[in-house]
Structure 1
C-alpha cells in the first residue's frame, strides 16, 4: 500500500467522522478549525481540507485532537492510523512524550507486570517508551515474560479499538531487541496450547525479524496443527517474505510446502488464496506490490452497497463515496484476511458503519432468496467485522435448517461466534443437533461447521452444549478438543468474539 493511499484513508476516516458527527457546527471546516486551540498549532480551513484529502501528512497528535473535539473514545482513530501504517510499512517513530521520562516508564512497567489496570492507551504509551529505548533491559529479564504474557492474554479477548491498540503494542515488543524473545515465546506458547485462539499469536510473529520466529512460522507452514493454524502461519509468512525476515533455507522450504498445498485438490479455497499469495511473494522476492484497490471499486456489489449507505446517512449529500466503495470492496474481496479486516475496521470506525451493515443484510437476504451462495461467506464475515448483530437471526435460520447448503452453513457457523450481541438468544442445542446429524454424511466441511458451532457455544458460555460435545466420541477430534479447551480455558472465553481473524 502506497504512502498516498495510507494518507487518503486516514484523511477519509477523519473527514467522515467530522462530517457525520453529532456536533453540526463542527461539520463546517471553518468552525472546526476555530475550535482547535488547545491542541497544538491552530490550523485553518484549508489545512483541515488538506488533511482530510490526504494531501498532507497527519500526525498522531492531530488525530488525537480530532478524537477530543468530536467526543470520540480516546485512541479509537489513532489505533486505526497505527494499524494501516504498520500494514503499509510506514509506521512513524516513538512520540515525543516517550523520550527521557524514566519515571513514567517505570510506572507503566510496574503496572503491566502486575495486576493493576492497563487500558489500550496505556499499552500504546508503554510500547512507545520501549520503542524509544532500543537497549532497554529489565532485571530480572523474566519481567519481559510477565509483560508479554499479560499483553497477549488481553489482546486475544479484547475488542475493536482495544484489540487494535494491544496488537500494535505487542508488535512493537516483538520488534524490540530485548523484549522480543519474551514476546515471541508468549505467542508460541499460546499457539501450542491446543487452543482455537491460534491465528493471532501466529500471525503476530510477522513483526519479529528474529530467526526463532521465522523458523517457527516455517514449521507451521510445513506441518500445521489445524487449518486455522495454517491461516495464521501463511499470513505471517507472506509479510515476513516481504520484510525479508527468512533465511534462504527457510524461504526454500516454505516454497516447497506451499507448492504441495496448491497441488492438493481438497484444499479450502480461502487457504488456497493465502498459499497463492505466499507463492507470489516468494516469486517477487519481497518487492513492493502495487495497490490493488482499484480492483475492488470495479465490482458492482461494493458500489451498490456504498451508494445505498450514502443515501441512508446523508440523503442530501453526495450520492457516491469512492473511498467507501474501495473499502467495502476490499473488506469483501481482498484475498488477505488482514487487509479485509483492516478495511472493515476503517468503515466500522465511522458513523457510516450501521448503514453499510444494513445494506449488507439486504444483499444477504436477496442472495439467500435467490439461492446464490458464492458471496454469502464474505458478506457474513464483513457484517461481523463491522460489529453488527442484525444478521444474527439469519445465521440462526441457516444453522437450524437441515436443507441449507454446505457453503451457507460453513459461513454461518464461523460468523456466529464473532457476531455482536443481538436481540435473540442463540439456540445452540438445536443448532448442534441439526449440524451433528448433517456431519454424519461424508463431507470434509461437516467437521469445520461443527468446530465453528462449538466455538460459538463456548463464547456464549453454553457449558451444557460443550459437555455434550466432549462426551460424544463419534464427533471429530478437533471438535471435542475445542469443547474441552473451552470448558477449562484460563481465558475469559465469553470475550473471544472480537473483531479479529475469522
Structure 2
C-alpha cells in the first residue's frame, strides 16, 4: 500500500476542496489567489505559493487553512480539525502546539483568564473556544493556574464533552485534550482524568478515553495503557489499549518491560485467529523490537502474515471510479484510490479513521458513501465475510448520510442477518448522518431485548443507548432507565446520559 505523509494529505485536502468546491472559477489557481488576499489580513500569496501548499512543498500556515474554509464556504474549523487529527496521529507527539497549528487566528480572541473562567463554570463553551483556550495554555508551558484544581476541572469537562461530541466538534476537542495531556504542568490532571474515565464502566466511550494516552510519552500514560492490556476492565478497554499501543510502540513510549509484556498477549490474539483484533495484533507484532520478534513462534508469524492480507486494490479502484463518475468534470486524482484502499484495509482502526475524516472533509463524501452502500448491499446479498461487512459499516459510520442511515437501520432490524453483523450495524448508527425516528429505536429495543441473554443482543442494546445519547434523545433514554427488565448495564448507560448537565450537552454540539 502506498504511504502518504501528513503534509501531503493536507495539501491534497486543500486542493480537492478548491477544485471540486461550489465555485467552479476556483479551479483556476489565479482566481483563487486573487480572492485569497481580499480579506486584508492574510499575508499576500501568489499562484506558486498556493501550488507549493497544495503539493506539500512548503508547510501550510494555520491561517491559510482557515482562509480556504472561508473562501470555499466550508464549516469553520473543518479543514483545520482534519489537519490536526491526521497530523497529530501520524507525527511524533513532541509539541503541545505543533508548527502546523500555530498562528491560525488573525484576531486575538478572548484572553486566557476569561476563557478559563468560562470553562470552570456552567457556561456554554464551543469547540472554537476550546481550541483557543488550549492553544493559549500550550503556548505557556510553565503556566500555573490557581487553584491547582482548575486543571482537573478543565480536563474533566473537556474529556466529557469529547466523549459525547461528533464529527468536527469531536475532532477539535480531541486535539484540545491532546494539548492538555502533553502540557508540562497540566498533564498530570489530564492523565488522571483520562484514567478515571477509562475505569468508569457507566460511560460508553471507553475506547476513545484510552486513545488520548497516545499523545503523551509520559511513563504514567504508558503504564495506564499496559494495565488495560494485562488486566483489562472490559473488552472495549482492552481493544482501546491495543489501538493506543500502535502509536506508543511506533514512537518508543513503552520501556523494555512494558514492551515485553505485550508479546504473549499479541501471540495469543494472532493464534486465536479471526476478526479485527487478529490483524491489529499482527501489525503490533511487526512493531516490536527485533529481539522480541525472534521469540515469536513460526506458526504465529505465519498466522500474522495471513491476517495482514494484501490490500484489495481492485475494490478501492472500483469504488473510486464510481465516486468520480458521480462528479461533473472529475479531476485526475490518483490519491483517491490510495485513500479508499487505506480506509478499508489498513489493520489499524485509528489509521482508517484518520483517512475517513480526510475523505469526510471533501466533496467526495456523498458519492463515495453511495458507492460504499452499494458494495455493502452486494456483500450482504452474497453473504460475504462479516469482517468485510464491518469494514464497510465503519466507513459509512463517518461518511454516510440520511440515505445510508436507512440501510443501516434495516440491518439492525433484520432477523435474517447474523448477530455480529447487526451489532456492527448498531455501532455504525451512532455517527452516520441523518436521524432515526423514535419508532425505530422502540422497534429495535423490542427485537433485541427478547434475546437479552445473548452477548450480541446486549451489545446491540448498548449501541442503541449510545445512539440515543449522542443525538440527545432524552425522552427515549428516560424510557430505558425505567425498564427494570432490561440488563443493568443498559439502564446504567442510559442513566449516565440522562445525568449529563444541559450546558455540557449544548457545548458538545458546537
TM-score (norm 1): 0.85
1:130 and 2:137 equivalent? Answer: yes
Q: Tell me if structure 1 keeps the 8 A contact 2:124–2:507.
A: no
Distance, in Å, in 1 between the alignment partners of 2:463 and 2:508 is 12
Classify the secondary structure of the residue corresponding to 1:177. coil
Q: Tell me if structure 1 keeps the 8 A contact 2:178–2:215.
A: yes
Give 1:35 shift.
1.2
Partner of 1:283: 289
1:310 and 2:336 equivalent? Answer: no
After superposition, where does 1:63-212 map in structure 2 within 5 Å?
Answer: 63-89=65-91, 91-92=98-99, 95-96=102-103, 104-194=111-201, 195-212=203-220
Give 1:450 shift.
3.9
Give 1:179 shift.
0.5
Bigger Cα displacement from structure 2, 6-15 vs 33-42: 33-42
Q: Tell me if structure 2 keeps the 8 A contact 1:399–1:435.
A: no
Q: Tell me if structure 2 keeps the 8 A contact 1:418–1:497.
A: no
1:448 and 2:459 equivalent? Answer: yes
Classify the secondary structure of the residue corresponding to 1:313. coil
Give 1:171 shift.
0.4
Unaligned runs of 5+ in 2: 93-97, 294-308
Cα distance change on mapping 1:284 and 1:31 into 2, 3 Å: farther
Cα distance change on mapping 1:3 and 1:107 into 2, 3 Å: farther
Q: Which of 408, 411, 425 is the equivalent residue of 2:424?
A: 411
Distance, in Å, in 2 between the alignment partners of 1:497 and 1:359 is 31
Q: Tell me if structure 1 keeps the 8 A contact 2:469–2:477.
A: yes
Q: Tell me if structure 1 keeps the 8 A contact 2:225–2:245.
A: yes
Partner of 2:485: 471
- The structure, 1 or 2, with the larger RCO (C-alpha pairs under 8 Å, 6+ apart) is 2
Aligned positions, number: 480
Distance, in Å, in 2 between the alignment partners of 1:365 and 1:102 is 48
Cα distance change on mapping 1:427 and 1:285 into 2, 3 Å: farther
Distance, in Å, in 1 between the alignment partners of 2:403 and 2:292 is 41
1:271 and 2:284 equivalent? Answer: no
Q: Tell me if structure 1 keeps the 8 A contact 2:124–2:503.
A: no
Give 1:410 shift.
2.4
Classify the secondary structure of the residue corresponding to 1:156. helix
Give 1:487 shift.
5.1
1:348 and 2:360 equivalent? Answer: yes
Classify the secondary structure of the residue corresponding to 2:200. coil
TM-score (norm 2): 0.84
Bigger Cα displacement from structure 2, 425-434 vs 167-176: 425-434
Partner of 1:8: 8
Distance, in Å, in 2 between the alignment partners of 1:407 and 1:284 is 36
